Amino acid sequence: MSVVDVAKGGTSIWLDDLSRAKITGSDAHSLPSRIAHSGVVGVTTNPSIFAAAIAGAKEYAGDIAAMKNADVDAIVQKLTTDDVRAACDLFKDIYSATKGKDGRVSIEVDPRLAHDTAATIAQGKQLWSIIDRPNLMIKVPATIEGLPAITALVAAGISVNVTLIFSVKRYGAVIDAYMSGVEAATNPGHVHSVASFFISRIDTSVDALLKKDGSDAATSLLGKAAIANAHLAYQLFEEKFSSERWRKQIDRGAHKQRPLWASTGVKDPAYDDTRYVVELIAPDTVNTMPQSTLDALIDHGTVRGNTITPNYLAAVDVLKALSALHISIDSVTTELEIDGVKKFAQAWNELLDNVKVAQQG
């Protein structure tokens, strides 16, 4: 079974989706079923997921009605933290069995705070306190302002999922921020972290530039940038977590910050719908995937073992070939970070609007 093969390869399967219907089992793809039968060992959320989950869903009507006179931000916080807490409880056995490595559920700080370090830290601590579950992860964007927030939260003993990572260079800064937090933490063994490296959006952006070029050289590179970029990120992960700096923290019980492959739903129908899973298998990784990708993996995914570490040189060649066509991966990833923060902020505003409509209904 492909999901078993993924786990054997060292990649944990998390689901990039959450709703009250999934938690209670009224959804056809309920979390209890996915945990029992589909190898799902964690969940990630984001503003877009919550906006879609709450829009018109009857499961939230009672809570919204009970808070009819409350501020809409307070209602959103109540709805989302209740869902995440309930999901944490569903995964508590996996959390215990894996000694905290898996069984994780992530919730994101308000994306409108992406460029406000102090506010991100404050809300991260607030969410950690409200949800009050050891298997929670607080999602913090990998903006320049987010980096010191990562350090501060980890130092405070809070597990962190760093999101919206696109470039290998920024990923290196994220690892350094995590290590700084571990070094400052009283009990680093209590903290776990993942670094969410986004995949499909890179191919979408680079492929558009390649198609505009139209040459044979450009055409031969279609669909190669995102996976190559991720392979080089994993190479950096191996280097950083075999360094002398990190070895000093191992004796203190510290845990590696695992790479998490995010945005793994294929956006171009011309590509195999499991490619961002089967081409990213290696030890100490996580793949958080939408329901459609998980279904495709179960149905016809072919896992070939470790598909990352044998391909470092090939990944370098891809980026060199892109550079020869005057396509800068650094420029692409910079724009993607800006756009990613903007889209999550828009989704958060959509979430607020959806709740306002329900509140007034």
Active site residue ranges: 139
User: By three-state DSSP, how is residue 18 classified?
Assistant: coil
Residues 23, 216: Cα–Cα separation, whole Å: 49
Residues 8, 144: Cα–Cα separation, whole Å: 35
Residue 276's contacts (CB-CB under 8 Å, 6 or more residues apart) are 199, 200, 226, 227, 261, 263, 264, 265, 266, 287, 289, 293
Residues 163, 119: Cα–Cα separation, whole Å: 17
Q: Which residue is it, tokens 């070029």?
A: 213
Going from the C-alpha of 316 to that of each of 230, 323, 356, the distances in angstroms are 11, 11, 49
Q: Residue 327 is encoded by which pair of tokens?
A: 């396509």
What letter represents residue 288's amino acid?
T
Residues 344, 348: Cα–Cα separation, whole Å: 6
Q: Are 138 and 105 in contact (CB under 8 A)?
A: no
Q: Are 149 and 143 in contact (CB under 8 A)?
A: no
The DSSP H or E segment spanning 11 is strand 11-15
Count of all residues that appear for the chain in the document: 361
For residue 168, which of 137, 145, 202 has the smallest C-alpha distance?
A: 202
Residues 56, 353: Cα–Cα separation, whole Å: 11
Q: Residue 234 is encoded by which pair of tokens?
A: 């994993």
- HSE-CB for 213 with a 13 A CA cutoff: 20
In DSSP terms, 257 is beta-bridged to 193
Using the 8-state DSSP alphabet, how is residue 283 labeled? T
